Structure 1
């Protein structure tokens, strides 16, 4: 990913759109697809909110991005067995819960210790 090639939120979301299309999520998992559509719309709305303080905006965008990353990881790696082991609603609940620790776990930290000071952890509920 090259930041110089991304000028709009839609350009950023294009990666996720492609994974959603390839996985046929709209037909295989319609509730997850609707959830994805909602997250994408929220991402664009928060990105465009000029009056929102920068760090609050980053917090909201990172929280949405964490959810998009989890969905994409499950769909992109053909984890159909994993996804299908849940009801779609339960999978969505898992995504909404796991967004709070996604970046911490991605960077090798667990939930028993406070996260280091860093922008990437702004998405965590404190």
Structure 2
């Protein structure tokens, strides 16, 4: 039962980390098209494709660092005792939050520059 609990704790953070890493990579390659579901979505980034792409290229690296850290924490949590696993998952969640949320200002500034260049 403890193994199942460990996996149920570790799997979501691992999948989320992989998804965020993939999204950061796609954005950095200019392959994450403007949408209302995922990515840096604010009035500045949504105003044009150029602003959207500039923001996502700017935040690609920190987004991928956050995603990789969360993925690693999930994998580690799957193989350690559940009491410690919870802490590792929380650290992974904090890690991804810090990197992704911390890069939003960078993305917004890049989008503003791109929008100004278009005007």
TM-score, normalization by structure 2: 0.41
Question: Which protein has greater RCO, CA pairs closer than 8 Å, 6+ apart?
Answer: 2
Larger Rg: 2
Give the structure with the larger helix fraction. 2
